[in-house]
A and B are shown apart, each in its own frame.
Chain A
């Protein structure tokens, strides 16, 4: 298999947009193509991550639609859906096309628009990612799923409201330093605790906001890279994709996602790295408690210690491992199909030393993108190549 590099990146800001969904994707895609310096006739395929453009926008075939507007014609264009992991899965499949030699360069785009929908419309659309013929019949929602996980984590590990608020406060502060972020804020514990209850014990500030946005990257083989002096090379060291149960009642432990544990294990094996080698991670903090669970599932924090590490600042910018320097989903926002690609953009910026909230001496970064009830997961590890 050939080495795969991230040659170009692009992104809209995450937040509220008035442009049509395809326009956001075209904006980000054009940025990535131009930055890559790769001629468009060398782009062999397009993968586009999206979750709910059908129910919320009445638009499908987005991959071909966006490719056409970018002047990419005749190449295979594939829309990828894996709930909140759609973007990560699209990136992985682009990497596989390059690694296998099927293509020398591939464009990956992730996009979603959600803010025009009502809360009920959005909740209904997002619930498409649940097994609605099984325990979705209970009326469970995704905030509810993480409310269940919170209570389970609290019972098993003694995690407190204050521990979990530390994640919110950290990520909202990180978001203030990221121009792509939707909802950075300087929050106090009292403000977090005073926010409205959504799915007990999950409160409003524990939830990522609905977002519009797009992100894109061009991946390519080494010989396709433009001037090596132009920017640091970012190489994909590991690409793992796994699955888990779509039924919450089939998870033996409500505060771990087996798909994440398995993907992390595979990614460490592929890269030959250990968790201690990871300088920063952009992980799937769709809810505050999710960051705590993810950090443990990824092996970055000892099992059960995620809350305490957050409260002690061990996951902040000066911590043992920096988690979500972008602000994560909680502060940067979560345009669902764009999130996984946006995480790659964030890590690439960090490894090039170009991030507005730069992690000092960042050499190895990880991304973690989780879909549904843990039904789909991707983990990627990227390195700055000397």
Chain B
């Protein structure tokens, strides 16, 4: 699988008591304080809310050189933070789709623009 292969879905965590969705598995649900969660598949498509290019990274990411971070509004209504495979024509409002992460990326979804706004 290459870094440009589109993913059909992403994993999110759903509270079994109140159905609230979160990007990462929490200790308790901030909405109802429930403690039982299910890993579920959610849409991997969305809209690029904004993005930036990190040129002065913290120590943990220094080995990655310059990289791109975005905020994505998934089509199910979740807003998540992500890495972005940057293309020069990227703009806020563009359609994005998750792709298979490269081995060097941290445990965070990676997206690429699939259509311009």
Say yes or no: A252 contacts B50, CB within 8 Å.
no
Say yes or no: B55 contacts A254, CB within 8 Å.
no
- B48-69: which have CB < 8 Å to A? 49-62, 64, 67, 69
Q: How far is the CA of A127 from the CA of B62 in the complex (A)?
A: 13
Q: How far is the CA of A152 from the CA of B52 in the complex (A)?
A: 11
Given A137-B108, A139-B61, A250-B79, the answer on whether A199 and B55 have CB atoms closer than 8 Å is: yes
A385 proximal to B (CB < 8 A) = no
Q: How far is the CA of A143 from the CA of B52 in the complex (A)?
A: 9
B93 proximal to A (CB < 8 A) = yes
Say yes or no: A199 contacts B52, CB within 8 Å.
yes
Interface residues of A (CB under 8 A from B): 119-121, 123-124, 127, 133-135, 137-141, 143-144, 147-149, 151-152, 154-155, 197-202, 247-250, 252, 254
Set of chain B residues within 8 Å of A197, measured between Cβ atoms: 53, 55
Interface residues of B (CB under 8 A from A): 23-24, 49-62, 64, 67, 69-71, 79-83, 92-93, 106-108
| Shortest distance between the CB of B68 and any CB in chain A (Å) | 9
Say yes or no: B56 contacts A141, CB within 8 Å.
yes
Select from chain B the residue with minimum beta-carbon distance to A145.
B52
| Shortest distance between the CB of B88 and any CB in chain A (Å) | 11
| Shortest distance between the CB of B34 and any CB in chain A (Å) | 18
Set of chain A residues within 8 Å of B50, measured between Cβ atoms: 148-149, 151-152, 155, 254
Given A134-B24, A155-B92, the answer on whether A199 and B54 have CB atoms closer than 8 Å is: yes
Set of chain B residues within 8 Å of A200, measured between Cβ atoms: 52-53, 55
Set of chain A residues within 8 Å of B61, measured between Cβ atoms: 139
Set of chain B residues within 8 Å of A138, measured between Cβ atoms: 69, 81-83, 106, 108
| Shortest distance between the CB of A107 and any CB in chain B (Å) | 34
Say yes or no: B52 contacts A248, CB within 8 Å.
no
Set of chain B residues within 8 Å of A135, measured between Cβ atoms: 23, 80-81, 108
Set of chain B residues within 8 Å of A123, measured between Cβ atoms: 56-59
- The 5 A-B residue pairs with the shortest CB-CB distance, nearest first, are A147-B52, A135-B81, A200-B53, A139-B61, A148-B50
Set of chain B residues within 8 Å of A119, measured between Cβ atoms: 56
Q: How far is the CA of A197 from the CA of B70 in the complex (A)?
A: 17
| Shortest distance between the CB of B30 and any CB in chain A (Å) | 9
Say yes or no: A127 contacts B58, CB within 8 Å.
yes
Say yes or no: A151 contacts B51, CB within 8 Å.
yes
Q: How far is the CA of A148 from the CA of B73 in the complex (A)?
A: 14
Say yes or no: B58 contacts A141, CB within 8 Å.
yes
Q: How far is the CA of A337 from the CA of B54 in the complex (A)?
A: 25
Q: How far is the CA of A198 from the CA of B55 in the complex (A)?
A: 6
